[in-house]
Structure 1
Amino acid sequence: MGYTNVRDNHDNIVYFDNTEHNILLNRHISLYKDPSRSLPIQAVQKQVFTVYPKDGIINLGATKDNVWLKFTLQNNSNDENLYLLLQQATIDEAVIFVEDAKGEILIDTLGKYKPFEQRKVYAPDYIFPIDLKKDSIAHIYLCVSSNDQMQLPLYVGSEKQILAKMSTKNLLFGLYAGAVLIMMLYNLFIGLSTRNGSYIYYIVYIFTVGLTQAMFQGYAYMYLWPNSPWMASRSSIIIPFFSGLATIAFIKTFLHTKTNTPKLDKGINVIILCYFVGLLVGLVDVFLGTIVLQTMASLGIIYVLYVVNQIRKKGYRPAVFFLIAFTLFFTCVIAFVLRNFNIIPYNAFTAYILEIGSIVEISLLSFALADRINFYRKEKEASQAQALRISQENARIIREQNVLLETEVDKRTKDLKKTNESLNEAMYNLKQAQAHLVESEKLASLGMLTAGIAHEINNPINFVTASIKPLSRDVDQLIETLLVIEKIALKDISIEEKIAELEHYKEDIDLSFLKEEIKSLLKGIQEGAFRTAEIVKSLRVFSRVDEDDLKLADVNLGLESTLVILNSMFKDRIQIKRHYDEIPYVECFPGKLNQVFLNLLTNAFYAIDEKFKGKQGGKITIRTYYKEDLVYISIKDNGIGIKEELKNKVFDPFFTTKDVGEGTGLGLAIVSQTVAKHNGTISLLTEEDKGCEFIIKIPAVQSQSSDNSVKGEDIQSGEQFLSK
C-alpha cells in the first residue's frame, strides 16, 4: 500500500507543548491491521507497523480488520493531564494501551459495546485521558474496530483544547438540530392548518433525517439509548432503514407517483423491498448490511431523480423544487460515499457534508410544499372565477329556458290531461274485461260442476226410474194374488183341497221369486235415494254461501265433498289415495277454500288425462296434516308435470299450458289469491313427465282485525253444520 515499514522512527514522536493547539496525529501515526482480530497487545508490539502515507484525516474505508494505531507522545508542556480524541462516533470499539517509561501498560476501553455511562468523559466521541508528566514519553497503541466506514480523525491536546473542539462540534450540531426542529414545527403548523397529509410524511422524513445525523455524530447513543449496546451497534442499520422508508413514503405522497408515473412507481416499491433485504442482512452482519444499505441508498436516489424528472416533464410544478433539492442532497450523499471509500479527502467540510446537504434539502422541500399551497390557492381562485362565470352563464340560460319551459309545460299539461282521460277509460275497460274473465272462469267451473252433479245424480235417479215399472207390475201381481187367495178361501171345499189349490197357484206365479224381486227393487230404490242425498249433502258443504265471513270448517270434509262432486271425472280410471290426519278446524272462508280444491283437482285430472289418454294408471294423493299452528294440504298427481322454465309462471294471470279454448289461465291465479287471503302460501314441486305437487299452508287461526274475528255464534253454527 506504499507504507514505510518502521520499528522506532523519530517521525512517530509527537511533541506536545503549550504553544500549539490540539494536534492532528495523522503524520505521526503508524498502522498495523490484524485480520484475525484476536492478537493481544504483547503480540502486536512485535509486529511491523507502517506509516500512513497521506496528509489529512486517516481514512481506511470499509474493513473488518482490527486496526492498530501506534505513536509516541512526549509532553513538553506544564499540563500533565492530556487527552486523546478520536472524533468518529461510528467506531464500534476503541481500546487504548499506554506504555510509560517503566514499561507499565494502562488500558482503557470505549465503544458501542459498553454502556455510555462507563465513559470517563461525557462526550459523543471517544476521549481517552492520558496522565503524562512533563518531559516524559509514553508509547501509545490504539486498537479500533468498526462495521462501518473507518475514518479516524485523531487529536491530542489539553483538556481545554479538547473541550473547545468538542464545543465547536456541539455548537454546529446544535444549530443543525435547531434547524431540523424548526422545520418540523413549521411544517406541523402548516400541515394542521391545511389538513394536508403530505406534511405528516414530510415531518416524519425530517425527523428520521435528523435522527440519522445524530446517530452518525454519536448524539443518538449519548442521549437516546446510552444503556443499550445492542441498539448502539445496530443503529447504523436500523435508523438509515427507517429514514429511507420515510423518504420513499414522502416522495410517493408528495409527487403522487402512483398516479403520475404508475409504472415507475412499481420500481420504487422494489427499492422498498431492497431496503428490507438490507435490514435483514444488517441485523445478521452489520458490516455487510451497512454496505448494502449505502449501495441501495445511492441507487435509489438515482432512480428517484429519474422518476422526479419524468414527473417534471409532465408539468407538475412541485417536481421542479423536489428535483433541485434532491439533486443537491444527492451530490452531498455521493460526496459522503466517496469520502467513505477514501476517494475524496476527509476534512472539516466533508465531515459535515450530510448535515449541510440535509439542511439545504429540507429547506427547499419546505419551499416546495409552500409553493404547492400557493399553486393550489391560485388554482382554486381560478376555478372559483371559472365557476362564477359558468354560474352566471347558467343563470342566463335558465332564465331563457324558464320561458320556454313554461310554454312547454302548459302544452304538456294539456297532453297529459288527454292521456290521463284515455288511461282512465282504458283502466275502466280493463277492469270490466278482468271482471268478465273472472266471471267466465267461475261460469266454466260452474258448468263443469253442474255437469258433474247432473251425471252423479242422474245415475241413482235412472236406477229408481228403471225400478218403478217392474215394482208396479210385481205389486199388481201381489194384489191379484190376494184376490185369488180370497176366492179359494170362499169356495165350499175341504181345507186340504184349498191348500192344494193354493200351492198350485203359488207355483204358477213363482211367489218366492216375486218376493225376492220386490225386495231387490226396494233396496235399489233406497240406495239411489241415499246416493242422491249424499250428493246433495256434499253440494251443500261445497257451495257455502258465507263468503264474506270467517268460519270454522273441517278441511278434510271440504276435500271429500269436492271429490264427491268431481267423482264423474275420475271414476274407475284414476286412483285417489287419501291420507287425512286429525287436524283442527280451520278458521277460513269455506266456500272459497273448496273452490281452491276444485281448481287444483281439476288441473290434476287434466294433467293425468293428457298423459294416460283416458286409460288406467292415473293416481292422485291427497294429504293433510297439522304442524306448528299451520294446516298443510298436499295434492299430488302423476300427470305430465310442468317444465322447469315455466314453473315460476303458473300463478300468473292468463298463463295456461292448455290448448287454446280449453282454459282461461285464471284458475291458479285465483287459487294463489285465495290462499293469500287466508294469510297462507302455496308452493309447487314439479318434474316434467312425473307430475306436480301443490302444497298449501294456512294458519289454523287467522290473526286479523276484529272485523274478521270469529264470533262465538259463528263457531257454534259451524259445529252444528259440520255435525249434520
Structure 2
Amino acid sequence: MISIIRQFHFIVIVFSIISFSNNAYSQKYLGLDIELLELNDSNVTALTPNEIFDDFWIKPNVSVPNLGNSNTWIWARLNLDPVKDAGLHVEIAYSTIDSLQVFMVCDGVTISDQLVGVNNTNNRNRLNIGNYPSFLIPSIDCSNLTCYIRAWSGKQLLLPVRIESSEKILSDGHVRDVLFAIYLGIVISLLLYNLFLFFSVGDKNYLHYVLFIIAIGGTQLVLNGYDRVFHLVSIPWISLRMTHIFGILGGVLTILFSRNFLHLKKNAPFYDKLFGLLYIPYFVATLLLVLGFYNTSYDLINFSALSIIILIPASIKVWRSGDVSAGYFLVGWSVFIIAVVIFALKDFGIIPYNEATIYALPMGSAIELVVLSLALGSRINQLKKDSELAKEKELNTSLLNEKIQREQNVKLEQNVEERTSELTKTNASLSETLENLRSTQEQLIQSEKLASIGQLTAGIAHELNNPINYVSSSAVSLKRDFIDVKEILSLIANLDPKSESLKESIESVKSKLLELDITFTVTEIDELLEGVEDGAQRTAEIVRGLRIFSRMDGNQEIKANINELLSSTLIILRSNLKHVVDVEVDLSENLPDINCQPGKLNQVFMNIITNAAHATTDTDLKRSERSVKVSTRVVTTDNVEVIQVEISDNGVGMSKETQAQIFIPFFTTKEVGKGTGLGLSIVQGILEDHDAKVEISSTMGEGTIFILSFPT
C-alpha cells in the first residue's frame, strides 16, 4: 500500500504543476472586455441587437464568464477594432453550446448574422476552423464595429472568447487533437485489453469495467466537441441530449462497477444500499431529459455525480478489510476527484482557464482508468494467490483424507466381509421368500380360476346336458327307423328272380314301403344325424373352452388369438349369462396372434364380462333391456399398433372414487359373501405381465366401458 500512496502523491504534484502554471498553451480570453446583458422583462425576448436596451449591460470580472445553467438566451457583446482585428476570427472556445448566433454590427447596422448549433449542422461545419465555432471579423470601413453573441444551452454555459488568426486557431486545434488522440488511444487500449481479459478470465468485473470505460471515454468525447466534429450523431433530438446521456451512463455504470468490484454487499452493506438508492435520481434525470427539461436534468445529473465522493470512505473500508485491490481503487478515484475539482475551479475563475486546466478532466480520467486497470490486475494476482492457497489446502486435506481412508479401508474390509456374509444369507432367504410368493401367486390365480369354474359348473353341466340329451333321444328314434329299414331290406333280400310269384313279392315290398312310409323315415334319419353332429360339435366346443380356460400356463408365453380366447370364455359363460343379460359380440376379422398366456387372459375376460353382467342386474332394467357388448379391433396409437378389447355394459356405473379403488386387493362393491375383492386385483397383475393397458370410462346410471390394449 505504501507504493500506492507514493504514486498518489506523485500524481497530485503533477496535477498541481500542470493546473497552476502558465504554460506554452495558455490562451488570452477576453472575458474582462466582454459585456453581458442583464436580463429583464424588456430584453429577455430580444432576437436581434436592435431590440436590446443599452442600459442593462454589465461587465464580468473574470476572463471566462460562467453563465450557469439557465434555460434562457444569453446576450454578450465585444467591441472590435475595425483596423487591427480585421481578418481575424472571434472564437467561442466552448464546444457544448447548443445554439449560438453571432452578429457583426457596424455603426448600428448588422452586416452579418451567423447561426450554429445542433439544428444548423451544415453552417456549423462551415464556420468551425477547429472543433470550436469561429467567426470571421470583416474588413470594412467602420467607426464602431461590435460583435454581438446570442447563446443558449441545455446545460452549463461558459463564454471563453478570444480573437486570433486562423493560423493560431488551427495550430491550437492541432495541439488539442494530438492530446485528445493520445487520451483516446489510452481509452481504446484499456477497453480492448480488459475486453480480452473478460473473454479469457470470465470475470464479470471486466465486462462492467469495459462498459465503464465506454461511458467515461464517450463523456470526454462529447464534452470536447468531437462528437460534432466527427458527425457521430445527425439527429438533433439526440444531439441536444448527448452530454446528458453520457453523464447518466457514466454515473450508473460507475455505481454498477464499484458495487461489484468492491463487493460492497458483502464488505460494506451500508454503502451498497446507499449506492443502490443513487439509481433513483439518475432515473428521474432520464425522465426529465426525455420530456425536454434539459437544464433541470443536467442539475440533477451533477448533483448525483457528487456521490462519487462516497467512494472514498467505501473503498477505505474495503481496503482495511484486507482487499489490496481496493487501495488501487482508492487512488484511482482520488485522482479523478482532484481532476474534477481542478476542472470546476477553472470554470469559476479561481484558477487560470487554459489548456492544462481544460484537459485536467480527460487527464484525470485517463489516470483513473489506468489505475483501475491495475486494480483489476491486482485482483487477478490476489485470485491466483487465493487459488494457490486453496489448492495447497486442498492437497493437504486430500493427503489427510487419504491417510484416514487407508486406515478406514482395513476396518471397512472387515465390515464388508461380515456384511457380505449377512447379505448372502439374507439374499438366500429373500430368494426363497420370492419363490414362495411366486408359487403363492400362481396358486392364487389358479384357485380364483377354479373357483370361477366351480361357480359355473351347474351351467356348464346344463350346457353339456342339452346336446347329450338330444343325441340320446335321436339315438332312440334312429334305432326305431333302422328297424323299419331292416324289415324292408329283409324283404328285398328274400326276393327270388326265378320264382313264379316274383311279381306278387315285389307288390308285397311296395305295399310294405307304403305302409312304413319309408320316404319320411329316410328324411327323419338325415335330420336326426344332423342333430347328432350339431350336438357333438357343441359338446366339443364346451370341452375345448374348458380345456383352454383351465390350463396352467405358468410364465410361459405362446402365440394365441384374442378372438379365440374371447369365444372360449363366452362359451363357458353362455349358460350362466343367457338368463341374465344379452351378450353382443363383434370380433374383428384377421386379428393377428400375440404372445400371451391364454389361460390367464381367459380369466381376465371372464372376470370383466361377469362383473359387467352383474352390474346390469343391479339396475331396474328388464331382462330384454340389459346388454353386454364385447368387441375387438386393431388401432394405431403414436405409430404403435395395438389390439383393443372393449367390454361395455349398461349397468349401474361407477363413481370416480370407486374407479380409483377397484384394483386394490379385497376391495369390492358387492355384498358380504358375494365377492372376495381379489378378481380385478388379479386382472391388473395379469395385464401388467402382458404389458397391456386398461382404460376405464364409467358414468353413474349409464354403464361402464373397459378398454384393454395389447401390444402386437
1:421 corresponds to which of 417, 423, 428: 428
1:176 corresponds in structure 2 to 183
Residues 649-658 or 53-62, more deviating = 649-658
Residues 143-152 or 168-177, more deviating = 168-177
Quick check: 1:217 aligned with 2:229?
no
2:695 corresponds to which of 683, 690, 696: 683
Deviation at 1:444, TM superposition (A): 1.8
User: Per the alignment, do residues 636 and 343 of structure 1 end up closer, same or farther by CA in structure 2, a change over 3 Å counting?
Assistant: farther
Deviation at 1:411, TM superposition (A): 1.8
Deviation at 1:37, TM superposition (A): 4.4
For residue 540 of structure 1, what is the amino acid of its counterpart?
A: V
Q: Does the 8 A contact of 2:205 with 2:261 survive in 1?
A: yes
1:347 corresponds in structure 2 to 353
1:536 corresponds to which of 522, 535, 539: 539
Q: Does the 8 A contact of 2:82 with 2:143 survive in 1?
A: yes
Equivalent-residue separation in structure 1 for 2:574 and 2:127 (angstroms): 119
Deviation at 1:241, TM superposition (A): 3.3
Equivalent-residue separation in structure 1 for 2:164 and 2:343 (angstroms): 28
1:155 corresponds in structure 2 to 162
Deviation at 1:383, TM superposition (A): 0.5
Equivalent-residue separation in structure 2 for 1:585 and 1:155 (angstroms): 106
Quick check: 1:69 aligned with 2:76?
yes
For residue 438 of structure 1, what is the amino acid of its counterpart?
A: I
For residue 48 of structure 1, what is the amino acid of its counterpart?
A: D
Equivalent-residue separation in structure 1 for 2:134 and 2:301 (angstroms): 28
For residue 87 of structure 1, what is the amino acid of its counterpart?
A: A
Superposed CA offset, 1:37-68 (max 9, x none) = 44322233x52242324233211112233322
Residues 526-535 or 348-357, more deviating = 526-535
State the identity %. Answer: 32
Query: 1:71 is paired with a residue of what secondary structure?
Result: strand
Q: Does the 8 A contact of 1:237 with 1:283 survive in 2?
A: no
For residue 401 of structure 2, what is the amino acid of its counterpart?
A: N
Equivalent-residue separation in structure 2 for 1:679 and 1:423 (angstroms): 26
For residue 453 of structure 2, what is the amino acid of its counterpart?
A: L
1:479 corresponds in structure 2 to none
1:400 corresponds in structure 2 to 407
For residue 707 of structure 2, what is the amino acid of its counterpart?
A: I
Please give the TM-score of this superposition, normalised by the length of structure 2. Answer: 0.71
Q: Does the 8 A contact of 1:461 with 1:528 survive in 2?
A: no
Q: Does the 8 A contact of 1:22 with 1:157 survive in 2?
A: no
Deviation at 1:397, TM superposition (A): 0.9
1:43 corresponds in structure 2 to 51
For residue 39 of structure 1, what is the amino acid of its counterpart?
A: L
Query: 1:390 is paired with a residue of what secondary structure?
Result: helix
Within 5 Å, give how 1:386-397 maps onto structure 2.
386-397=393-404
User: Per the alignment, do residues 559 and 420 of structure 1 end up closer, same or farther by CA in structure 2, a change over 3 Å counting?
Assistant: closer
User: Per the alignment, do residues 278 and 562 of structure 1 end up closer, same or farther by CA in structure 2, a change over 3 Å counting?
Assistant: same
1:85 corresponds to which of 91, 116, 129: 91
Equivalent-residue separation in structure 2 for 1:676 and 1:226 (angstroms): 74
Deviation at 1:398, TM superposition (A): 1.5
Quick check: 1:241 aligned with 2:241?
no
Deviation at 1:376, TM superposition (A): 0.8
Equivalent-residue separation in structure 2 for 1:288 and 1:608 (angstroms): 89
Within 5 Å, give how 1:564-583 maps onto structure 2.
565-566=572-573, 569-570=576-577, 572=579, 574-578=580-584, 580=586, 583=589
Quick check: 1:434 aligned with 2:441?
yes
Superposed CA offset, 1:681-714 (max 9, x none) = 4433346787643334558xx5xxxxxxxxxxxx
For residue 158 of structure 2, what is the amino acid of its counterpart?
A: Q
1:693 corresponds in structure 2 to 705
Quick check: 1:141 aligned with 2:148?
yes
Residues 653-662 or 436-445, more deviating = 653-662
For residue 105 of structure 1, what is the amino acid of its counterpart?
A: I
Query: 2:100 is paired with a residue of what secondary structure?
Result: strand
User: Per the alignment, do residues 459 and 367 of structure 1 end up closer, same or farther by CA in structure 2, a change over 3 Å counting?
Assistant: same
Deviation at 1:259, TM superposition (A): 6.6
Superposed CA offset, 1:553-580 (max 9, x none) = 855xx767645544554564x2325254
2:121 corresponds in structure 1 to 114
For residue 695 of structure 2, what is the amino acid of its counterpart?
A: S
Q: Does the 8 A contact of 2:339 with 2:364 survive in 1?
A: yes
Quick check: 1:601 aligned with 2:604?
no
Residues 668-677 or 388-397, more deviating = 668-677
Superposed CA offset, 1:58-81 (max 9, x none) = 11112233322223233786x854
User: Per the alignment, do residues 93 and 603 of structure 1 end up closer, same or farther by CA in structure 2, a change over 3 Å counting?
Assistant: closer
1:449 corresponds in structure 2 to 456
Q: Does the 8 A contact of 1:554 with 1:586 survive in 2?
A: no
Q: Does the 8 A contact of 1:279 with 1:289 survive in 2?
A: no
User: Per the alignment, do residues 575 and 404 of structure 1 end up closer, same or farther by CA in structure 2, a change over 3 Å counting?
Assistant: same
User: Per the alignment, do residues 595 and 330 of structure 1 end up closer, same or farther by CA in structure 2, a change over 3 Å counting?
Assistant: same
Deviation at 1:184, TM superposition (A): 3.1
Deviation at 1:90, TM superposition (A): 1.4
Q: Does the 8 A contact of 1:183 with 1:362 survive in 2?
A: yes
Query: 1:31 is paired with a residue of what secondary structure?
Result: strand
Deviation at 1:391, TM superposition (A): 1.0
Quick check: 1:379 aligned with 2:386?
yes
Quick check: 1:24 aligned with 2:29?
yes
2:647 corresponds in structure 1 to 635
Q: Does the 8 A contact of 2:616 with 2:651 survive in 1?
A: yes
Query: 1:59 is paired with a residue of what secondary structure?
Result: coil
User: Per the alignment, do residues 528 and 653 of structure 1 end up closer, same or farther by CA in structure 2, a change over 3 Å counting?
Assistant: farther
Within 5 Å, give how 1:97-108 maps onto structure 2.
97-100=103-106, 105-108=111-114
1:18 corresponds in structure 2 to none
Deviation at 1:434, TM superposition (A): 2.7
Equivalent-residue separation in structure 2 for 1:696 and 1:275 (angstroms): 69
Query: 1:435 is paired with a residue of what secondary structure?
Result: helix
Superposed CA offset, 1:639-688 (max 9, x none) = 67666456356457777667898767664455456667877644333467
Query: 1:91 is paired with a residue of what secondary structure?
Result: coil
Equivalent-residue separation in structure 2 for 1:67 and 1:160 (angstroms): 29
Q: Does the 8 A contact of 1:679 with 1:698 survive in 2?
A: yes
2:206 corresponds in structure 1 to 199
For residue 93 of structure 2, what is the amino acid of its counterpart?
A: Q
Equivalent-residue separation in structure 1 for 2:211 and 2:562 (angstroms): 82
Deviation at 1:427, TM superposition (A): 2.7
List alignment gaps of at least 5 residues for structure 2: 1-25, 478-527, 637-641
Query: 1:24 is paired with a residue of what secondary structure?
Result: coil
Q: Does the 8 A contact of 2:467 with 2:538 survive in 1?
A: no
Deviation at 1:248, TM superposition (A): 3.8
Equivalent-residue separation in structure 1 for 2:205 and 2:471 (angstroms): 107
Deviation at 1:31, TM superposition (A): 1.7
Deviation at 1:219, TM superposition (A): 2.3
Equivalent-residue separation in structure 2 for 1:592 and 1:434 (angstroms): 12
1:500 corresponds in structure 2 to none
Q: Does the 8 A contact of 2:581 with 2:616 survive in 1?
A: no
- Paired residues, what number? 620
Residues 381-390 or 234-243, more deviating = 234-243
Equivalent-residue separation in structure 2 for 1:441 and 1:651 (angstroms): 15
Query: 1:48 is paired with a residue of what secondary structure?
Result: helix
Please give the TM-score of this superposition, normalised by the length of structure 1. Answer: 0.70
User: Per the alignment, do residues 527 and 337 of structure 1 end up closer, same or farther by CA in structure 2, a change over 3 Å counting?
Assistant: farther
User: Per the alignment, do residues 671 and 535 of structure 1 end up closer, same or farther by CA in structure 2, a change over 3 Å counting?
Assistant: farther
Deviation at 1:123, TM superposition (A): 0.6
User: Per the alignment, do residues 139 and 243 of structure 1 end up closer, same or farther by CA in structure 2, a change over 3 Å counting?
Assistant: same
Query: 1:225 is paired with a residue of what secondary structure?
Result: coil
Equivalent-residue separation in structure 1 for 2:662 and 2:127 (angstroms): 99
Q: Does the 8 A contact of 2:104 with 2:145 survive in 1?
A: yes
Within 5 Å, give how 1:488-499 maps onto structure 2.
none
